[in-house]
Amino acid sequence: MDKPAKDFDAHEVTEEVAERVKKRMPDVDDDLIRREAAASVESHADARVTDFIGIIAERETRERLAGIAEESDAGSDAGSADTAG
């Protein structure tokens, strides 16, 4: 009774999430998007209700990628500040 729905396919959901995220974040590397999408989908794969995993995983993936981009920008800003002086 507490098993995930039989028709839930983590690979399929991961691909769908990655596709939607890529449309919204076209400059981000495809492999990075897929890795982050897979991690998010897998973290919810054992949920009793799987209907919304794709939506949740898409949001989490975009948030993770935005965080990675912010960290990257902060690192490059710090480096350019060092060379500016």
The continuous run of DSSP H or E covering 10 comes out as helix 10-24
pLDDT in tens, 20-76: 999 999 999 999 999 999 999 999 999 999 999 999 999 999 999 999 888 888 887
pLDDT at 46: 94
Q: What is the pTM of this model?
A: 0.78
Burial 40-72 (b: 16+ CB within 10 A, else e): bbeebbeeeebeebbeebbebbbebbeeeeeee
pLDDT category at 4 given cuts 50, 70, 90 is: very low
